Amino acid sequence: MDRFATLQVFEAVMESGSFSAAARRLNLGQPAVSKAIAQLEENLHVRLFIRNTHGLVATEAARAFHEHAQLALRHLEDADHAARGEGAALTGVLRVSVPVTFSCMQIVPRLNRFLDRHPGLRVEMLQDDRQIDLLEAGVDLALRIGTLDDSSMTARRLAGSERVLVASRRYVETHGVPDDPAALASHVVLSYGHDGLVREWVARQGERTERVGVDGPLHVTSAEGLRAAILAGIGIGVTSRWVAQPELASGEVVRLLPGWSFGTVTLWAVFPSGRMPSAKARAFADFVEALMRPDEADVLSAPVAARPPGDAQG
């Protein structure tokens, strides 16, 4: 087995945590994986893995080697891709970290376009709203929405979305429609934020700015939780148009105060620091950016004019 293939075996063992899982991922026999690791240990003169009651454990030497091996593999893959031409299909494993709700609504339903273009590529999608350590998780890129806290990260802006104030049709028919931001004080408002409580919304109309206190009966830490609460008619929430898109189009969810702006959110592709983004990661970022263009996004209905209680049409 050549050095490049041996590095691929080592990375598969590091990522999967076992020889058998690495063998399945690479379509190899387990003896071939064991032999490759033994050969690598002999060449490096170090022990890379130890078996204990909890399974296979990577040594400190393995973890140090892993960081450099990842970089070497990416450079080799990029060189191979460049030599074969930009039109060549990508191969191997692409690990991406994505927000749960956004990925389920916007990426996964259209992922076949990317997979069909690169049949030799396997995508491992880590769906988690938390901002994980990309290097520690072995992630090639992460999709993140909002403000980036770490300025040292390599990031690329992919798209932006309007934040909209919305409620379910059921809520509106029962509680009526606020006619200005101040009227929200008499409504049930829903708070969302995974980094802590949201105390206020900022609404703007031209040069006017209104701050709305958010002190409702429910705070959720995931976009999916906020979406579920809105659809259940519990209260009014502020969310990205990306998340509210299907129900805005169907009329199940109503946009409130359409003349007011509640800000925008940005979608970023974030790459591990200190590492050149791989060809696979760049291709996936290009794919997502293309998906989020206005001409590619699903057509939204115009904002629905809410009716006062008693004037509902079912």
pLDDT at 65 over 60: yes
DSSP code at position 182: G
Q: What is the pLDDT of residues 252-294, one digit of tens each?
A: 999 999 999 999 999 999 988 766 678 899 999 999 999 998 7
Which residues, other chains included, contact 228 with Cβ-Cβ below 8 Å and sequence gap of 6+? none
Give the pLDDT score at 89.
66
Beta strands in the chain (DSSP E): 49-52, 55-58, 91-98, 120-127, 141-145, 154-168, 190-192, 200-205, 208-213, 218-220, 237-240, 253-256, 264-271
Cβ pair 137, 128 in contact under 8 A: no
pLDDT at 80 over 70: no
How far lies 241's CA from each of 16, 199, 293, 312, in Å? 37, 21, 13, 24
- Would you place residue 206 in the very low, low, confident or very high pLDDT band (cuts 50, 70, 90)? very high
Give the pLDDT score at 104.
92
- Average pLDDT along the chain: 84
Give the pLDDT score at 73.
72
Cβ pair 268, 160 in contact under 8 A: no
Domains observed in the chain: 1-88 (1.10.10.10), 160-266 (3.40.190.290)
